[in-house]
Structure 1
Amino acid sequence: SVSVTEGDTVTLNTNLTEIPEYDDLLWKYGAEKSLIAEINKASGFFSTCDVPDERFRDRLKLDRQTGSLTITNITTEHAGEYTLELRQAILTSRIYHVSVYAHLPVPVISSNSSNCSPSSSSSSSQQNCSLLCSVVNVSHVTLSWYKGNSLLSSISVSDLSISLSLPLEVEYQEKNSYSCVINNPITNQTTHLDISKLCSNQSQHLDLSRHCHTCAVPQWYSFRVPSRIIHNNKDMFMAPGRLRQRPYKVHSNAGKGDINDG
């Protein structure tokens, strides 16, 4: 079997130094065994041809001496089974399985502040940083998190053109090296985690939310204003008993409730 990446050139070798005299050499593609190349040594006939959907147009090259077949600028459409047939007194054949993989995207690591939570294994002030490694439009790949050289978690997919995401939680002060890797049978792409960059914003967000809590909806308070009040050492008079209403937000700080004018 042969495994290549899209855009590569692949040669299916016959392992012959020369085609035997009077032999007829044929290359066929797919389960239907569609003829794509032929050499008849006796008559000197030499030809490459396409399948009905023209996927091999301008991509096939046939070596006249050895019969080896070359496919240029290969794509996933050209994956499959190739059959070499040599016909003379007896028929001999050989099957080549060709796998073609798309170019791998670079994994993207992002922080997910909405999923932050206190660490259960340390003090209440210790916080975890929630991360997500993602790739889009991939098939026949594995996505993995590594801590140094140790595999932490992975997910694999064989379906066509889907998106993958893999979560990870680390501590803010973590000093270990983490990386997210996507790979297929012939290549890989790696993104290294920068904890100080991705987790610092989460830490600041959590510190702020832990020390300051503000009601999301303003509350309304009613009070009666006395008929006589003193303002800047001066007497001020208002109609007695008049009801005044104004919106106020309630803020909580260190267990004390303060009413502030909204």
Structure 2
Amino acid sequence: MKSTLILVLFPLFALGVFGDEVSVNEGGSATLQTGVEIQSSDLIEWRLNGKLIFRISGSEVFDNTGGAFGGRLGVDKLNGDLKITNIETRDAGEYKLQIRSTKGSSSKTFSVSVVPVPGPSPHDSSLSSGAIAGIVIGVLAALAAAVGGICYGYGKKGQIL
């Protein structure tokens, strides 16, 4: 009976302590859902690894990311959900939601892990100068071979271009 009680209580205890775990592929997006509808008088705070990143107080929105997310972070003013788009490995960590209202306060913690995608980073949208030079040389070589082949074919038939 004792072991059954421990097995039943442990999952309940673990859910309250550790919060939600979210795993996202690099380049994907994640929405950390609050599960509540916030009131205009509520104070909503989002923290990443203890640092304040977003605060909503009434109609005021305070973005404290300092450009670290480059416009990839947003908060839904109706429910306080935090959405991260085009996620990067540096976005991984512990996100903590704190809601303070006239009824009291509550918090929820999300552990976000980012799975790196093999190969070039999805954030590298431009080609290196070496890659561009290689493409140009390849196209010019193909063009020269085509012109040479045409000239050779006409030359064998005795025709002048």
TM-score of Structure 1 vs Structure 2, range by shorter chain? 0.5 to 0.7
The aligned residue for residue 92 of structure 1 is 106
CA contact (8 A) 1:48 1:60 kept: no
Alpha-carbon distance in structure 1 between the residues aligned to 2:72 and 2:87: 8
Where in structure 1 are there 5+ consecutive unaligned residues? 106-262
* Cα separation, 2, equivalents of 1:21 and 1:45: 10
Secondary structure of residue in 2 paired with 1:65: coil
User: Normalized against structure 2, the TM-score is what?
Assistant: 0.56
Q: Provide the aligned C-alpha RMSD in A.
A: 1.6
> What is the CA distance between 1:48 and its match in structure 2?
2.3
1:68 is matched with 81
Kept in 2, the 8 Å contact 1:11–1:68? The answer is yes
Identity of aligned residues (%): 37
Deviations 1:173-231 (A, max 9, x none): xxxxxxxxxxxxxxxxxxxxxxxxxxxxxxxxxxxxxxxxxxxxxxxxxxxxxxxxxxx
| Alignment pair present for 1:59 and 2:76 | no
CA drift at 1:68 = 0.5
Q: Structure 2 CA distance, aligned partners of 1:57 and 1:104?
A: 23
Of the two structures, which has the highest relative contact order with CA contacts closer than 8 Å and spacing of 6 or more?
2
SS at match of 2:90: helix
Structure with more strand by fraction: 1
Superposed displacement of residue 9, structure 1: 1.0
Out of 24, 34, 46, the residue aligned to residue 61 of structure 2 is 46
Q: How far off its partner does 1:75 sit?
A: 0.8
CA positional deviation for 1:21: 4.0
Among 7, 10, 22, the residue aligned to 1:2: 22
Q: Give the corresponding residue for 1:34.
A: 51
Matched residue count: 98
Equivalent pair of 1:48/1:62 in contact (CA under 8 Å): no
- Looking at structure 2, the residues matched to 59 and 21 of structure 1 have their Cα atoms a distance apart, in angstroms, of 24
Residue aligned with 2:41, SS: coil
Name structure 2 gaps, 5 residues minimum. Answer: 1-20, 120-161
